[in-house]
Structure 1
Amino acid sequence: MTATPDQHVPTDQPDQPDPWPALWALCIGFFMILVDTTIVTVATPAIIEDLQADVNQVVWVTSAYLLAYAVPVLITGRLGDRYGPKNLYLVGLVVFTGASLACGLTTTIEGLIVARVAQGLGASMMTPQTMAVITRVFPAARRGSAMALWGAVAGVATLVGPIAGGVLVDGLGWEWIFFVNVPVGIVAFVLAWRLVPSLETNHHRFDWLGVALSGVGMFLLVFGIQEGEQYDWSTITGPITVWRLIVAGLVVLALFVWWQARNRNEPLVPLSLFRDRNFSVSNLAITTVSFAFTAMGFPLMLWAQLVRGYSPTQAGLLLAPMAITSILAAPVAGRLTDRVHPRALTLGGFAALGASFVLLSQVLAPDTPLWQLVLVFGLVGLGSSFLWGPLATTANRNLPPQRAGAGSGVYNATRQVGAVLGSAAIAVLIDARLSANGLEFSPSEASGGTSLPAQVAGPFTDAMAQSLLLLPAVLLLGLLAVLLFERPRHFGAAPAREGVPAGAAADPA
């Protein structure tokens, strides 16, 4: 059965099967692809040694994945609308799992980079479908709990990556950060095949010009931002410079928006999505959250390994309090998301997260007691629990089912752009603060293995602590944005007073 783009596909009939098993099945694959955005970080020294690569080449192991993940995600979200989110999710899972096997088997750095591109493409097919399925199988009044699980998976996966990477690299070798995906991917495929429903598709006229403009624009922008530090924000080759790529990307994306407004048939991204204020605010807010979490890992892992002398596993375990707190708090946040105004929840989340990063920058020292770090990282996990899930829920709660794929694609694209901005910005800031503190090496030259001399450890720690202050500054933008949240429609109208129609006095904000 198919539905036209203007038809509303009901999702909350009483005879529908329980949607929770489908969500759990999807979250296994979603967790796996998000872990792979950060798991490679702690394996960098091992990859350099084993594949005889230089630092810039290994940077591409992560850059290639992020580029291939971020650039097509607008398109793959819409493909899920057309061919069915379950079908596209399963295809992406096969691509991702096969590419993971290729990553572990490769013997050259070039082969690893190519396999990571395939991994990123698989991830870009999977991610929008998870949110689209939630939007379509859970009624609006129950999406908060579902999105809380989705958000918890996103937050915990970001934190678990370095932990899992450290354990696998120390115990089995860097190849196993990829091999471990193969059995997980097989299990995820079987569960998704059996438990995820085949939802109605929509007949779309595919916007091929929009596909081309969005793909080229996203590639130029993301590549320029991501590789800016590597090329010292200057010339890449010939007349091509980092800033020209970024400007070109912005121009092409502006043309994309213009075309979406002019396209009278069916645009790739219906701009009407942004008429929903909550959708627009959520997209801006998640960009700042993704920025902060991506940026946090770099200075923290450098400090843990170079100043404290921790192994990759020990450094990754510093994040365990975040993961534990996030897991415990996510169900509470989910229940509240269905009943409490999103402005209140997300304001608390942003306040807790921003305060925790300010506190971390103040307590960070060569001899910081471990209990202080545990408390700070626990607060990070608590704050994130009231952001990942509630923001995703609020972004998509008001969208009709036939727009679920487009909305999910936009939301995940902005989240990925936030991650790229965070990685680029923190690298530039760390380099600047190291120079300001009298240290001459750049972050790309710092690798694990031995602790820094005592006379250097203090200035190095100061540079890392000062860099962390970028995070609350960016999160402040997200906090200001969520002040604009409106009252969700599913809250319903206020009880009717005598002589007043139901809903006439409903609080619009």
Structure 2
Amino acid sequence: MNSSNLALLVLVFGTLMSAIDTTIVILAIPTITEDLHADLFIMIWVIILYLLVIAVFTTQLGRLGDIYGRAKFYNLGFAIFTLGSALCGASPNAIYLVVFRGIQGIGAAMMQANAGAIIADIFPPNRRGRAYGYTAIGWNAGATLGIVLGGFITTFVGWRYIFYINVPIGIIALILGLRYIKTLETRKVKLDIAGMGTLLVALSSMVYGAVDIAGYGIRALNMVLISLGLVILLIFFWLEGRHEFPIIDLRVFKGNRVFTFSLLASFLQSTGYLATAFIIIMYLQGIRALSPLNASLLLVPGYVLASLVAPFTGRLSDKIGARMPATIGLSLMIVAVLIYLTLSLNTPLYIVILASTIGGIGSSLFFPANNSAIMANAPKGFYGGASGLARTLANLGSIISYTIAISVSSIVIPRYVAFEVFLGTSNLIGGVASAFLTGLKAAFYVSLAILAIALVLSAIRGKEVRTQVSK
């Protein structure tokens, strides 16, 4: 393997590990809650805080990677992620675990923010689709392994090892990263401190409000937090337009239709489709009475197939551009959701496997092509910012998806019951199960509408041409 491919291998490992830790704690939460004598709603933040930290910090850390060196920030992120994993495994109580998940999230944000930009540095435009295809393998495989490993390791070894497993892998990957990831340009610019502060407060306020809706329903506190976040976000954009070197240079969106629409499609795809995984697990556990591990295993074929297909679809986007593969991918995800809408109290379980497989193929078409379009059309010198912005929007979409899965599907039952169903500690029968299925289908309809908007944006993004560039 040449140095570029070895660097790509490290990037895939980083994507794999950060993806694993978005889901690995889900099936372990009941065991952790019992072992640490914790409150269930505190433990929900073990899942949410990791996503929240990534969503808040990814853009800024991508921008700092542009300034101080993407390789430095990526490798430092791997070190912080590995340290955070060790601390999570050693947590003496729930509060420490939540805090250490935040540290782990900072490391993951540094990796996610700079990985896409490093690929754009290493590979020419006509080879980036394939490279993003391999990172898509890491993301799909990580999401699968996180769910399955969380249940398996917790059952047979102990929940602390869902975090300890990252440590030896992280150390090896860090050594390889320090040796083979050598990027390239840096830019001498001033930090946008005011922009960083306002963006942090705005995103934190809105995300906290959204998560609060999932836990307690609509109330004055979360409405005030979301409204405050939106106001501060407007202030952020006002400040950005006046800074010489802003975190998010709004000028890059002007006349850059492919870049803008690709980012929006990424955000909406994450918001609309990730929710389906949460919802279908709630169906399998809460209505079909499957164990968390058995429920997750039904989703594995779709993720596995997506991982196998992604490199080939990435090469396809290198040849013909992103619009057609990404749009077909979104169409297949919509088909999967339409199949999920046919579920009943006794639908054969192979229907779930069929839908997840179709959705997995759709994901393998969408992710490499869309990510390649974002980076291929990002202005030179903004690779880190573009990569960070893409991951920020995708992680915000993940959090919103979690809110959709819990809030919309639990309209007809108390939210604490919905949490217990999702975590696999309760299942429903009779009329309550029928009512809950109605709520689940309402959530699917919301996902369907969001994906339809993403499909339109993807289709009208414009055509792009990938050409060989000299290195």
The verdict on how the C-alpha distance between 1:143 and 1:261 changes in structure 2, with shifts beyond 3 A counting, is: same
Residue 18 of structure 1 deviates from its aligned partner by 4.9
Residue 424 of structure 1 deviates from its aligned partner by 1.3
1:370 aligns to 2:330 (yes or no): no
Residue 455 of structure 1 deviates from its aligned partner by 5.3
Q: Secondary structure at the match of 1:90?
A: helix
Q: TM-score, normalised to structure 2's length?
A: 0.94
> Aligned partners of 1:384, 1:268: CA distance in 2, in Å?
29
Q: 1:464 aligns with which of 437, 440, 447?
A: 440
Report Cα offsets for 1:448-486 as digits up to 9, x if no partner.
Answer: 246434554444334324422222211001001112222
- Look up the equivalent residue of 1:98 and give its one-letter code: L
The structure with the larger Rg is 1
1:269 aligns to 2:219 (yes or no): no
Q: 2:464 aligns with which of 484, 488, 493?
A: 488
Residue 370 of structure 1 deviates from its aligned partner by 2.9
Alignment of 1:255-404 (within 5 A): 255-263=235-243, 265-275=244-254, 276-362=256-342, 364-404=343-383
Report the more deviating stretch, 217-226 or 446-455. Answer: 446-455
The aligned residue for residue 423 of structure 1 is 402
> Aligned partners of 2:416, 2:205: CA distance in 1, in Å?
29
The aligned residue for residue 100 of structure 1 is 85
Q: Secondary structure at the match of 2:341?
A: helix
Report Cα offsets for 1:166-193 as digits up to 9, x if no partner.
Answer: 2112222221211111122112112212
Contact 1:152 1:388 in 2 (8 A): no
1:188 aligns to 2:163 (yes or no): no
Report Cα offsets for 1:183-210 as digits up to 9, x if no partner.
Answer: 2211211221222124222111111111
Residue 326 of structure 1 deviates from its aligned partner by 0.2
Q: Secondary structure at the match of 2:241?
A: helix
Contact 1:96 1:123 in 2 (8 A): yes
The aligned residue for residue 132 of structure 1 is 117
Report the more deviating stretch, 337-346 or 103-112. Answer: 337-346
The aligned residue for residue 226 of structure 2 is 246
Q: 1:443 aligns with which of 394, 400, 418?
A: 418
Q: 2:449 aligns with which of 473, 478, 487?
A: 473
Residue 405 of structure 1 deviates from its aligned partner by 0.8
The aligned residue for residue 26 of structure 1 is 11
> Aligned partners of 1:476, 1:402: CA distance in 2, in Å?
33
Q: Secondary structure at the match of 1:490?
A: coil
- Look up the equivalent residue of 1:477 and give its one-letter code: I
The verdict on how the C-alpha distance between 1:18 and 1:400 changes in structure 2, with shifts beyond 3 A counting, is: farther
Report Cα offsets for 1:268-287 as digits up to 9, x if no partner.
Answer: 11112213211111111111
Q: Secondary structure at the match of 1:487?
A: coil
- Look up the equivalent residue of 1:63 and give its one-letter code: I
Contact 1:78 1:409 in 2 (8 A): yes
Q: Secondary structure at the match of 1:387?
A: helix
> Aligned partners of 1:206, 1:246: CA distance in 2, in Å?
27
Residue 386 of structure 1 deviates from its aligned partner by 1.0
Q: 1:38 aligns with which of 16, 20, 23?
A: 23
Contact 1:163 1:319 in 2 (8 A): no
1:88 aligns to 2:88 (yes or no): no
> Aligned partners of 2:84, 2:258: CA distance in 1, in Å?
37
Contact 1:228 1:424 in 2 (8 A): yes
The verdict on how the C-alpha distance between 1:273 and 1:152 changes in structure 2, with shifts beyond 3 A counting, is: farther
Q: 2:151 aligns with which of 153, 159, 166?
A: 166
- Look up the equivalent residue of 1:79 and give its one-letter code: L
Report Cα offsets for 1:98-130 as digits up to 9, x if no partner.
Answer: 111111111211111111111111111111110
Q: TM-score, normalised to structure 1's length?
A: 0.87
1:112 aligns to 2:87 (yes or no): no
Richer in helix (by share): 2
> Aligned partners of 2:328, 2:415: CA distance in 1, in Å?
40
- Look up the equivalent residue of 1:206 and give its one-letter code: L
Q: 5+ unaligned residues in a row in structure 1: which ranges?
A: 1-16, 236-240, 493-509
Aligned length: 466
> Aligned partners of 1:441, 1:95: CA distance in 2, in Å?
34
> Aligned partners of 1:254, 1:441: CA distance in 2, in Å?
35
Contact 1:352 1:380 in 2 (8 A): yes
1:216 aligns to 2:201 (yes or no): yes
Report the more deviating stretch, 463-472 or 278-287. Answer: 463-472
> Aligned partners of 1:444, 1:85: CA distance in 2, in Å?
39
- Look up the equivalent residue of 1:224 and give its one-letter code: G
Report the more deviating stretch, 301-310 or 105-114. Answer: 301-310
- Look up the equivalent residue of 2:337 and give its one-letter code: F
Report Cα offsets for 1:324-349 as digits up to 9, x if no partner.
Answer: 21012112211110112322112211
Contact 1:164 1:316 in 2 (8 A): no
Q: Secondary structure at the match of 2:27?
A: helix
The aligned residue for residue 139 of structure 2 is 154
Q: 5+ unaligned residues in a row in structure 2: which ranges?
A: none
Residue 160 of structure 1 deviates from its aligned partner by 3.3
When the two chains are superposed, the root-mean-square deviation of aligned CA atoms in Å is 2.0
Residue 161 of structure 1 deviates from its aligned partner by 2.1
> Aligned partners of 1:490, 1:440: CA distance in 2, in Å?
49
> Aligned partners of 2:126, 2:183: CA distance in 1, in Å?
22
Residue 400 of structure 1 deviates from its aligned partner by 4.1
Q: Could you list the structure 1 runs, at least 4 aligned residues long, displaced by more than 3 angstroms after superposition.
A: 439-442, 449-463
The aligned residue for residue 495 of structure 1 is none
The verdict on how the C-alpha distance between 1:457 and 1:247 changes in structure 2, with shifts beyond 3 A counting, is: closer
The verdict on how the C-alpha distance between 1:333 and 1:440 changes in structure 2, with shifts beyond 3 A counting, is: closer
Contact 2:321 2:465 in 1 (8 A): no
